[in-house]
Amino acid sequence: MTQRLQDIAASSIASWIPVAILAALPFIVGGSWTFTLGLCFANSIGVLAVSFLVRYGGEVSIGHTFFTALGAYAVGVLDTRFGLSLWASVPLALVLGVSLGIAFAWPSRNLHGIYLAVTTLALALAVPEMINNLDWITGGYEGLYVSTPLVPGVEMGLQRYYLGLAMLVAVAAAVARFRLSRQGMTLLLAKTHPAAADAFGTRRVWARIAVMGISGGIGALCGATLAFSGSTVSPGGFTFWQAIFLLVGSVVSFYGLSLFRVLIGGAFVTLVPQLLSASGAWIPVFYGLSLLGMILLGHYLPRIQKTLARRKGGA
């Protein structure tokens, strides 16, 4: 027990070190990096939403831009049409994400694997068209500009950065706490042994709906953060490819739910395309190679670490 508590304490400290470094970054790096990192934090939340579905539901989504769009437009519409800040729009985004996650999960509750994944694809394909057709409220192709400050009087660039960081830390902490809860444990059992979960009072249908609702809610929080940190909301941010990139980020982070893991996924989704932007037509090739490199590194890293530790021990 003592060893386990020590491990938990060490893990907690390890999580706070990157947070402290990221909190200090705006005072070290330039404005463009601050902006990009704000987007990275938002995308990390999106990666977390997809990974949550994998870890707790055993399912894959290629349509989570549906939920990120919900959150982003909740922020954009309340900001531009009603002048309301995130204090009002983030709760709305969360409610919309959870509600529509549940609404999606109910009819698809008996679908699994590739069938569910393709169903989520339908969501992803529908999103940009829905946004364009509802242009009277979404602004259509032109999109919306989010300018209402969260804290009046504080420089907006810093707000956009720190809001992203705070949201990421809060969501990652909430998900870490959820893992220890009664509901979290029963959902994990329902994923691996649905019959056993049923036998102990957790209906598998309830489990499926709950996981999709939570994942949708986290996805909407990703969108809300993207809208504020990125300052604009437009259909181009919620395409099918964006949904694929969130899944790629989840895979690169090995479906991890810790702050560090989702930051890796979010950084891959946000930073790699930017770093490769000067490569012209080679961008897809280099992106693919980067993806392959990350997967292989993640796969072989534990073995490499073991080998190095053995050599160190033998020396």
Partner 1 sequence: MDQLTNTLRGDGIALSFGGIKVLKGLDVEFRAGEITGLIGPNGAGKTSLFNCLTGAYRPQHGSITYAGTSLDGLPPAARASKGIVRSFQHVALCPDLSVRENVMIGVARNYSAGWASAFLPLSAGRKERQDMATAADRVLADLGLADSADLMPSELPPGTQRLVEIARAIVGKPSVLLLDEPAAGLNNSETRDLMKVLRKLASTDLVLVVVEHDMDLVMSICDRIYVLNFGEFVAVGTPEEVRGNEDVVRIYLGSDDDE
**Residues binding partner 1 (CB under 8 A):** 1, 3-4, 174-175, 177-178, 180-186, 188-189, 191-193, 195-196, 198-203, 206
Q: Dihedral of the CA atoms 242, 36, 230, 40 (nearest 10)?
A: 50
Tokens standing for 40?
């990275």
* DSSP reduced 3-state for 233: strand
Contact between 164 and 41 (Cβ < 8 Å): yes
* Phi, then psi, of 47 in degrees rounded to 5: -60, -40
Sign of CA dihedral 18, 24, 29, 33: positive
CB of 98 to partner 1, least distance (A): 10
233 phi and psi, to 5 degrees? Answer: -130, 120
Residue 33 beta carbon to partner 1: minimum distance, rounded to whole angstroms: 31
Q: How far is the CB of 218 from partner 1 (least distance, A)?
A: 10
* Contact in structure between 187 and 207 (CB atoms under 8 Å): yes
Query: Between residues 19 and 198, which has the closer beta carbon with respect to partner 1?
Result: 198
To partner 1, the closest distance from the beta carbon of 177 in angstroms equals 6
CB 22 → partner 1: shortest distance, Å? Answer: 22
Host H or E run for residue 232: strand 232-233
Straight-line distance from the first to the last Cα atom of the chain, in angstroms, rounded to the nearest whole number = 32
Pick 55 or 160: Cβ nearer partner 1? 55
Nearer to partner 1, 81 or 193 (CB): 193
**Tokens coding 109:** 């509750």
Task: Please say which residue, 4 or 311, places its beta carbon nearer to partner 1.
Answer: 4
φ/ψ of residue 150, rounded to 5? -75, -45
Shorter beta-carbon distance to partner 1: residue 1 or 114: 1
Q: Which helix (H) or strand (E) holds 30?
A: none
Minimum distance, C-beta of residue 3 to partner 1, in the bound complex (Å): 8
**Measured from the CB of residue 53, what is the shortest distance to partner 1 in angstroms?**
15
- State which residue, 3 or 32, has the beta carbon closest to partner 1: 3
Q: Which helix (H) or strand (E) holds 295?
A: helix 283-314
Nearer to partner 1, 89 or 202 (CB): 202
**Shortest reach from residue 258's CB to partner 1, in Å:** 14
CA distance 109 to 205: 6
Cβ proximity to partner 1: between 75 and 187 the closer is 187
Give the 3-state secondary structure of residue 305. helix
